[in-house]
Copies of this chain bind each other. A is one copy, B any other.
């Protein structure tokens, strides 16, 4: 094949198949099998399609949110999933992920490499309305899965209801209706014994 550009794109598409082997802390509903990053990213895409009306900024660019959630976890192919309540592992997370981004995205043709890098960077910096909304979804999705699996992830000793509330409080400003709902299911989870008070 002489199409050098296409060959780079295909190499990348095959390389990132590995995202299906990066496992998260939560499980798939009705199983005892950990969810992986590819499944999680797909779930965020459909949530972006359905819930964008709740973004505090009503003029967000949905295509950008979707592109962002689709690539936001790719760096974990090298860096691994870092549990959000594990303070120690979070210390060198940024450095590990930066290194991963440099290796992975360089597989692509230069223009697309820059495009994906900049989407990932924007998500990480969390300053634009699209990055903020993508981040809301990235918090709400595991909350829904934990609520639907009797708080599977929340059984880890480092997790408390205060930490879960604080992590999701990000929704208060950026997706107020989703925050109201999040508070309700966190409270209900405490009442049902899924989450320690």
Q: Which of A5-13, A83-91, A164-172 contacts B (4 or more CB under 8 A)?
A: A5-13
Secondary structure dominating the interface of A: helix
In angstroms, Cα B41 to Cα A51, docked, is 19
In angstroms, Cα B39 to Cα A71, docked, is 13
Is A50 within 8 A of B9, CB to CB? yes
How many chain A residues have a CB neighbour from B under 8 Å? 48
- A189 contacts the other chain (Cβ, under 8 Å)? no
Given known contacts A62-B63, A63-B66, A38 and B43 CB-to-CB distance under 8 angstroms: yes
Residue from B14, B42, B71 in contact with A41 in the complex, judged by beta carbons closer than 8 Å: B42
- Shortest Cβ gap from A70 to chain B (Å): 5
Q: Which residues of B contact A36 (CB under 8 A)?
A: 39
State which residues 149-197 of A face B: CB under 8 Å.
Answer: 177-178, 180-181, 184
Given known contacts A3-B181, A28-B17, A63-B66, A45 and B43 CB-to-CB distance under 8 angstroms: no
